[in-house]
């Protein structure tokens, strides 16, 4: 237990205190089904009203490990030339908590077999850090000012992105947080939100009538942190069930399962297993995704969508 608490404190101090500027946003293993969370240009790209809920519990067994929940909904407007989206999220890490909302807007250029979208977003979030609740050494008389005051602050940010997609291919480049917002009102605390840049792409290959192969990747560049890549490969069976694997560089290996329950409902599950020394102290990360699409128009149903 002592080691678990120490690990949690290391995360807090390394991410939020002192002169370190790196600030990671919430992580998602099923990024290909939660793209609105990282790229506003994705809004309306599925050409129907689409709602997605996602729950993530990271590093199960470690005290203070990240827990994230998010709900997104997006839709096309004006003959599908405009896309709008809304994301509501909550992200917990140790004694810190962020709750907020993001509104996305996309202008879509419709082509014969594809769409090119340019998006922007604005966000507002309530950030809090109850540092006074952190248990230091109770028998020590050493005073640490970094843990003396709690933080509660409203943060505003803006982001932008571009997204190109067809029925079997997509590519996107985005930066959802352009502003270098200060996380504390204390002028002695230099912790800030860091610049994030995402590059994502994927393609669906037809193997035969029953099987399709879908590789994809997400590159994440964060100011002050090493470049990270999520490399994914999935096999779709009869457009109903998909099984796949993913590798997150220098961090995790993942197993993925997707089930198209009906033309409107899709379920997804991801399990992450650490490849770092953290694997000795946690039982993995779990992520559940549920998507519902308002795709019926009389007797017409949705055709299969892979992104």
CA-derived radius of gyration, the chain: 20
Q: Identify the pLDDT of residue 3.
A: 43
Say if residues 126 and 154 touch (Cβ distance below 8 Å).
yes
- Does residue 139 form part of some domain? yes
Identify whether the C-beta of residue 72 lies closer than 8 Å to the C-beta of residue 51: yes
Joined tokens for residue 195 = 């610049």
Q: Is residue 264 part of a domain?
A: no
Per-residue pLDDT 10s for the chain (307 aa) are 444 444 444 444 444 333 333 445 778 899 888 899 999 999 999 989 999 999 999 989 888 889 999 999 999 998 899 999 999 999 998 888 999 999 999 999 999 889 999 999 999 999 888 877 666 665 555 556 666 677 888 999 999 999 999 989 999 999 998 887 766 655 445 466 678 899 999 999 999 999 999 999 999 998 777 889 999 999 999 999 999 999 999 889 999 999 999 989 999 999 999 998 888 888 899 999 999 998 655 444 455 677 8
Structure token pair of residue 252: 């995790």
* Rounded Cα gap, residues 181 and 168, in angstroms: 37
- 91: in domain: yes
In a domain, 222, yes or no: yes
- Tell me if 206 is assigned to some domain: yes
Q: Residue with structure tokens 């966000």?
A: 123
Dist. CA 58–CA 254, nearest whole Å: 12
Q: Domain residues for 215?
A: 2-227
Angle at 46 between CA 123 and CA 176, to 5 degrees: 25
Is 253 a domain residue? no
Question: How does DSSP assign 83-143, residue by residue?
Answer: EEEEEEEEEEETTEEEEEEEEEEEEEEE-SSEEEEEEEEEEEEEEEE-GGGS---TT----
Q: How far is CA 293 from CA 71, 98, 287, 296, in A?
A: 13, 28, 20, 9
CA 202, 206, 209, 211 torsion: positive or negative?
A: negative
- List b or e across 25-61, with b for residues whose CB sees 16 or more CB atoms inside 10 angstroms: bbbbbbbbbbbbbbbbbbbbbbbbebebbbebebbee
Residue at 282 is within a domain: no
Domains of the chain: total:
1
Q: What is the pLDDT of residue 141?
A: 59
Residue 235 placed within a domain:
no
Contact residues for 298 (Cβ-Cβ < 8 A; gap 6+): none
């Amino acid at each position: 237990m002592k080691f678990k608490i120490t690990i949690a404190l290391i995360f807090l101090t390394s991410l939020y205190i002192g002169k370190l500027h790196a600030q990671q946003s919430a992580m998602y293993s099923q990024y290909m089904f939660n793209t609105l969370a990282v790229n506003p240009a994705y809004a309306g790209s599925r050409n129907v009203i689409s709602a997605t809920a996602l729950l993530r519990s990271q590093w199960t067994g470690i005290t203070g490990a990240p827990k994230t929940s998010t709900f997104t909904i997006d839709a096309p407007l004006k003959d599908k030339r405009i896309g709008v989206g809304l994301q509501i999220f909550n992200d917990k890490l140790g004694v810190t908590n962020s709750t907020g909302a993001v509104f996305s807007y996309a202008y879509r250029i419709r082509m014969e077999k594809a769409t090119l979208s340019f998006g922007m977003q604005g966000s507002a979030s309530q950030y809090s850090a109850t540092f006074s609740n952190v248990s230091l050494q109770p028998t020590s008389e050493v005073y640490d000012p970094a843990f003396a005051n709690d933080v509660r602050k409203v943060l505003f940010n803006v982001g932008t992105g571009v997204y190109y997609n067809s029925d079997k291919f997509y590519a996107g480049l985005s930066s959802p947080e352009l502003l270098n917002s200060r996380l504390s009102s204390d002028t002695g605390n230099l912790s800030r939100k860091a610049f994030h840049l995402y590059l994502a792409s994927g393609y669906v290959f037809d193997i035969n009538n029953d099987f399709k192969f879908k590789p994809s990747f997400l590159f994440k560049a964060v100011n002050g942190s090493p470049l990270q890549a999520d490399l994914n490969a999935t096999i779709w069976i009869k457009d109903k069930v998909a099984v796949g694997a993913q590798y997150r560089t220098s961090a995790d290996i993942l197993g993925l399962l997707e089930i198209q329950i009906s033309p409107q409902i899709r379920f997804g599950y991801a399990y992450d297993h650490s490849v770092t020394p953290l694997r000795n102290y946690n039982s993995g990360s779990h992520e559940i995704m549920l998507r519902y699409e308002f795709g019926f128009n009389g007797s017409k149903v949705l055709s299969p969508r892979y992104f």
